[in-house]
Chains A and B, each alone.
Chain A
C-alpha cells in the first residue's frame, strides 16, 4: 500500500543523496564505507540534516536525571564506568546513518566523477531466454486462468444473450468465456564480467599501501557491478611467486620476498584461458604494485605477456602504482615506455588517499 508520506520520504532521500554526492570524495578517501557493507546496502553517515533554531546547547544546559549515583559519577553508568551513551551519543547526534544500495552509490560515483557508461563487448554474443506473460489466449491450464477477463467475457455473453438479471447478478462462465495468461519467450542479452585483481604483497608494500588498494578496489567493484549483472572477482597475490587467493587473504597477506610481476601475469593468463573465454566475458584486470620489479628481464617478459596473451582478449588492463617509501616506481615508467600506445592499458599513480579519486577516474573514465 502506498503511503501519503512517500512523497516526503522520497524528497528526503533525494536531499540525502545530494549530501552524499557532495561529500563523496571525502567518503572515498576515508574508506570508512567499506566496513559498513551489508547485503547490497551501505550505511553512510551523513551530517544530520536539521532545522536550526534558537536553542540551548545541551552541554551548556545540563539537565535533571533520576537514578542511583553520587556527584561526579558518569550519567547512567556505575561509578568509574566509562560515560556510557550520552557523551558518545551527543557526538553522534549530528550524524545520520542512511542506507543506500550499492547501485545507488555507483550511480552517485558515476555522476560525481562523470564516468561514462561502459560499452559492453559481450552483449551481442551471449543471450538468455526469459519467459514473460504478455497476452491472453483461449486455452490453457486452470492455474493460469485470468479471473477478471474471464468474468468480463462471461458478463458480456450473459448481457448479450439476455440472461443477465440485475436483481440477481449471477454470472456463470462457460468454457468459451475462459481466458488464460499467455507468455512469450524473449531473448535477453546478458553481459557478464570478471575482474581479476592482482597485487604485489612483497615486503615493500605496507599497510597504508594495501589500504589504498582496498579502497580503490571497493569503488571499482561497485561501479562495474552496476554495469554488469553477473560480476565475478578473482584475486591474485604475488611476490616472487603468484597464487590465487580469496578476497580476505588478498587484503591481509604480507610476504617478505622479492617481486616478480610476470608470475602474476602468467597466472592470470592461465586463469582467463581456463575459465573465462573472451567471447563470453568482459574482462578487467587491475594490478597494484609499488613499481619495484625484481629485474628488467622480468619486466620485459611482463610486457611480452601483456602484449601477446592479455591485452588482446580483455576490455582493459589497469595498472595502479601506489607510492611507498621503498618502491622505485620504475615499473610504471617501463610500461609507459613499451606499451604507451596500447589503448587497453591504463596506468595510474596513487600517491596517497587524495589520489584515489583521480585514479578511479583514470581507470573507469574510458568507458571500456
Chain B
C-alpha cells in the first residue's frame, strides 16, 4: 500500500497461508470483503494503532501520545499488538513481523471473522460511501452486496485537507480548535443513519391545516360516550399549545447530533467548518465498532478458534495455539474481557439453538433437571449465529441472549467503588443487576445521552444542552472543560442541564465564568 513506507508485502509462505485460511473461512459460510494483509515491523504497527488503524490521519498530538504509550508498553514487554483490521474495501489487516507461524495463522483466522462481521452486520452499513465519497443513507443489502468503503482514502483526504488548513492558518489555532472539536466528538447520534427521528415538515403555503384530534372509532350513537366532547376539546387545546411552542423552538425537536447542529448553526469560519465536518465524519465511521465491540470480537474469536482447531492448524501447533488463545481470552483483575464474553455468548446461543433451548416451552419449564437434559436436536445453532451477527448490536445482543444461566456459568458480578474502603469491590451476583449494569454501559455505547434542546435559550442566543440522567453523574471536571470547549465554538453562553448528586443542576458558562445553579426538575 502506497501509504506505508518500506516493504510491507506479505512473504510468499504467508500468502499461501492466506489462501488456505480464506478457503476454509469460505467453506464455513463466512462472507467477507477481499482482505489485503500487510506485514509490519513493531514500530509501524504502533504507529498505525496510534492512528486508530488508518495509516494516514490529520496532524494531532494525541496520536503522538498514543504512539508514545504503545511503544513504551511494547518496549517493556507489557503489551503487544497482534492484529489490526480496518473496515474498508478491500479490508486491510496487519500482521506483526516476527510472530510465529501459529500466531500469524490465528490472526488471519481472526481477521476473516472481523471482515465477515464488517460486511454483514447491519450497523456497518452506515459506513457505505457513494462514488463521491459521501456517506450513503443506509439501505438493506441484496445478495450482491459490494459496497464502497474506501475509508482509508477518505481519511487520507481528510488529513490532506487539515494539513492545508494548518499551512494557511498555523498549527496552534488549528490544533486548539481540533482539541475543542474532539471534546465534543462523542455527541453524535449513531442510529440517525437508520431512521428518521422526525418527519420533515411539509412546507405549505396558505392556510395552516386544522389540527386533527385523534379519536377512537365508535358507532354514531356511542360517539359522545367514547369520545366525550370536553375531552376532545381539551386534547385539541393541548395539541395547539404544543404546536405553538414548537413553532418558536429551535431546534424544533431536541437533537442528539450536537456536532451537526453546531455545523449548521455555530458561528464558525469556513476552515473551522471543514475541520468540524472531518471530525464528525470520522466519529461516525468509528461508531459502529464501538456499538459492536463485544459481538465483533466475540465473532472473530469464535471463528479463529473454529478455523484453527478444525481446519488450519497442524496438530503440532495445538499447544502453542491454545496458549495464545488463552492469553486473548484471559480476564485480568476481574475485569470483563469483551473477547471472552462475546465468544462465550455466541457459543451459548449456538448450543441453545442446536438443542432447542428457547421459546415458550423452554421458558415455562422450571424443572432444573429437565432443563439440563433438554435436547430437541434442532441443529439450528449455526444458522442462528449467522442471523445474530447480522441483526444485532451489543445492546440488543445482550438484551436478547444474556440469560441467568449464562451469567451464573460465567461467574459474572457487578462491582462498585466503595468510599469506605477506597477500593473497587464486588457488589452483587444478582442476575437482574448484572444485566441492567451491562445494558446501561452499552446503551449509546457507553456515552451519556446528551442533546441540544434549545439553540436560543432565554431568547438570548444561548445554547442549552440536556443530559438525560440515568442514575450516573457526569464526571464533573471533564464536564466543565467540555463545556468550555463548547463555549468557544458557540461564542455565546452555553448551558448543560444535568443532575449532580441527585439534584437537577444547570451548569452555565458565561464569558469564561462557570456557574452551578440548581435547576427545576426536567
What is the distance, in angstroms, from B481's C-beta to the closest C-beta of chain A? 4
B477 adjacent to A52 (CB under 8 Å): yes
- A296 close to chain B: CB less than 8 A: no
- A53 close to chain B: CB less than 8 A: yes
What residues of chain B lie closer than 8 Å to A75, measured between beta carbons? 333-334, 415, 423-426
How many A residues, CB 8 Å from partner?
Answer: 50
- A9 close to chain B: CB less than 8 A: yes
What is the distance, in angstroms, from A334's C-beta to the closest C-beta of chain B? 52
Assess A4 versus B56: contact at CB under 8 Å? Given A11-B61, A55-B448, A71-B427.
Answer: yes
- Contact bitstring B89-108, A, C-beta under 8 A = 1, else 0: 00000000000000000000
- B246 close to chain A: CB less than 8 A: no
Assess A66 versus B337: contact at CB under 8 Å? Given A3-B47, A83-B423.
Answer: yes
Assess A64 versus B434: contact at CB under 8 Å? Given A75-B333, A75-B334.
Answer: yes
| A29 to B62 Cα, complex, angstroms | 30
Neighbour of A56 across the interface among B44, B51, B475, CB < 8 A: B475
B61 adjacent to A15 (CB under 8 Å): yes
How many B residues, CB 8 Å from partner?
Answer: 74
- A86 close to chain B: CB less than 8 A: yes
What residues of chain B lie closer than 8 Å to A162, measured between beta carbons? none
Chain A minimum-CB-distance residue to B496: A54
Chain B minimum-CB-distance residue to A9: B64
A66 adjacent to B478 (CB under 8 Å): no
B335 adjacent to A51 (CB under 8 Å): no
- B63 close to chain A: CB less than 8 A: yes
Assess A8 versus B67: contact at CB under 8 Å? Given A64-B441, A65-B426, A66-B335.
Answer: yes
B424 adjacent to A64 (CB under 8 Å): no
- Contact bitstring A73-110, B, C-beta under 8 A = 1, else 0: 11111000011111100100000101000000000000
- A7 close to chain B: CB less than 8 A: yes
B475 adjacent to A57 (CB under 8 Å): yes
Closest 5 pairs between A and B when the two form their complex, measured CB to CB: A83-B423, A76-B333, A12-B64, A52-B481, A8-B64
A83 adjacent to B421 (CB under 8 Å): yes
Chain B: residues with CB nearer than 8 A to chain A? 5-6, 43-44, 47, 50-51, 55-56, 59-65, 67-68, 171, 175, 179, 182-187, 331-337, 340-341, 410-417, 421-429, 434, 437-438, 441, 446-448, 450, 467, 472-479, 481-482, 485, 496
A70 adjacent to B414 (CB under 8 Å): no
- A72 close to chain B: CB less than 8 A: yes
Residues in A1-49 with C-beta less than 8 Å from chain B: 1-5, 7-13, 15, 49
A84 adjacent to B333 (CB under 8 Å): yes
Chain B minimum-CB-distance residue to A68: B411
Chain A minimum-CB-distance residue to B424: A75
Neighbour of A70 across the interface among B61, B426, B472, B481, CB < 8 A: B426
What is the distance, in angstroms, from B21's C-beta to the closest C-beta of chain A? 29
What is the distance, in angstroms, from B171's C-beta to the closest C-beta of chain A? 8
A55 adjacent to B59 (CB under 8 Å): no
What residues of chain B lie closer than 8 Å to A52, measured between beta carbons? 183, 477-479, 481-482, 485
Chain A: residues with CB nearer than 8 A to chain B? 1-5, 7-13, 15, 49, 51-77, 82-87, 90, 96, 98
B423 adjacent to A49 (CB under 8 Å): no
A62 adjacent to B414 (CB under 8 Å): yes
What is the distance, in angstroms, from B495's C-beta to the closest C-beta of chain A? 13
What is the distance, in angstroms, from B473's C-beta to the closest C-beta of chain A? 5
A61 adjacent to B441 (CB under 8 Å): yes
What residues of chain B lie closer than 8 Å to A76, measured between beta carbons? 332-335
Neighbour of A71 across the interface among B63, B428, B473, CB < 8 A: B428
Assess A87 versus B478: contact at CB under 8 Å? Given A5-B63, A63-B441, A65-B412.
Answer: no
| A82 to B477 Cα, complex, angstroms | 28
29 A–B contacts from the bound complex (CB under 8 Å): A1-B43, A3-B44, A4-B55, A7-B64, A11-B61, A12-B64, A12-B68, A49-B65, A53-B186, A54-B467, A54-B482, A56-B446, A59-B417, A64-B441, A65-B335, A66-B331, A66-B341, A66-B410, A69-B413, A69-B426, A71-B426, A71-B428, A74-B426, A75-B425, A75-B426, A76-B332, A76-B335, A83-B423, A87-B417
